[in-house]
Amino acid sequence: MLKIDCLVSGGVITNYKCSSKCKHCCYASSPEWPNDYMTPSMADEIFSILKSLGCHYVHIGGGEPLLQPDKIFAVLESAQRNNIDIEYIETNASWYRDEVSAKIILKELMKYGVHTLLISIDPYHNEYIPFWKVKALMAACSEVNMGVFPWLMDFWADLDAMDDRKPHSLDEYARFFGQNYLLELPRRYGLNLKGRALKTYKPMMKKQPFEQILKESKPCRLLSGIYHFHVDLYGNFIPQSCPGLSINLSEVSHGADPGKYRVLYSLESIGIGGLVELAIKEYDYKPKSEYAGKCDLCYDIRSYLVLERKLDLPDLQPAGHYKYI
């Protein structure tokens, strides 16, 4: 059985829709996603399962969770009902309009037990969101005593070197700071090269022969990440670092059937070699001669199953992860 007995801390994804389409987004969020938001009953189900697995606190992320501020309050109420603390809400600050309206939202969030916002500060977000909004939101937080977890302060000087009244493309950053700027960002950011981040950096990554990737195959141990897992608005448990893969949270907490989750099980128990064998034998996948590593091969197979074969597999949810990448 695929089973999780304990979870310590993780994130709850209330929505995938976002105001931005950042090139580093491993969840492949964007404005193209449907306007779905976690419902109160789904939140209740998720929080009660997390509590039963020993998880007492979560952070909230997206997408941009505060795009529709009225919808987050019911989710926060559910967290309170289930005795789950909110560590912080991640936000890109795009929703900031003016000081008065921002303070109303911040004070309302504080009533529901939210005391910290993680505010994104990096060149990827700055392609969409002018820096003045980030600064103004931080100032509003400070005035109402909402804590700020700036992610990452390391980039403050870079963003501040540009005109803060408008967004700036990564090309502008490369022109300003040098051509290696984009290449150095993943290390500075600590980027997880999955989802859209992999798509962005794939052309710059070293290629490996298909056979060599198979030779090095080992189990991906998707269920062992108990500190940074995510659960989304559809009730999918998303393993730490590997978005686009999923098991229904209520099933994995009782023990999910490996026969139902064959993609995930092959990766969990054998590794990329197991997924390749499954894809070739059962789904007529034709491998290429080389890939930018095992995760590129894994994505190529998963995208093929969802987008070309149009399969609605329970372990490749939500399909939007592949569609809107």
3-class state of residue 296 by DSSP: helix
3-state secondary structure of 222: helix
Helix (H, G, I), strand (E, B) or coil at 231: strand
Q: Least distance from C-beta 127 to ligand SF4, angstroms?
A: 9
Closest CA to 231 of 21, 27, 5: 27
User: Counting contacts by CB under 6 A, is residue 18 touching ligand SF4?
Assistant: yes
Structure tokens at 322: 């592949």
62 contributes a contact to ligand SF4 by CB under 6 A: yes
Tell me which residue has tokens 């502008």.
172
Report the nearest approach of ligand SF4 to the CB of residue 324 (Å): 10
Rounded Cα distance between 224 and 240, Å, is 8
Q: Under 8 Å CB-to-CB from 48, ≥6 apart: which residues?
A: 82
Cα separation, 242 vs 295, whole angstroms: 9
Q: What is the DSSP string of 124-162?
A: HHHTTS-HHHHHHHHHHHHHHT-EEEEETGGGHHHHHTS
CB of 167 to ligand SF4, least distance (A): 12
Give the residue, chosen from 55, 276, 298, 305, that forms a contact with ligand SF4 under the rule CB under 6 A: 298
Which of residues 140 and 272 has its CB atom nearest to ligand SF4 in the complex? 272
Q: Which of 136, 223, 272, 278 binds ligand SF4 (CB under 6 A)?
A: 272
Out of 14, 29, 248, 303, the only residue in the binding site for ligand SF4 (CB under 6 A) is 29
Helix, strand, coil percentages in the chain from 3-state DSSP, rounded to 5: 45, 15, 40
Q: Of the ranges 22-30, 140-148, 165-173, 317-325, which one interacts with ligand SF4 (CB under 6 A)?
A: 22-30
State in angstroms the smallest separation of the CB of 125 from ligand SF4: 6
Site for ligand SF4 in 86-105 (CB under 6 A): 92
Binding mask 197-216 for ligand SF4 (x = CB under 6 A): --------------------
Residues that bind ligand SF4 (CB under 6 A): 18, 20-22, 25, 27, 29, 62-64, 92, 125, 194, 220, 222, 242, 267, 272, 294-295, 298
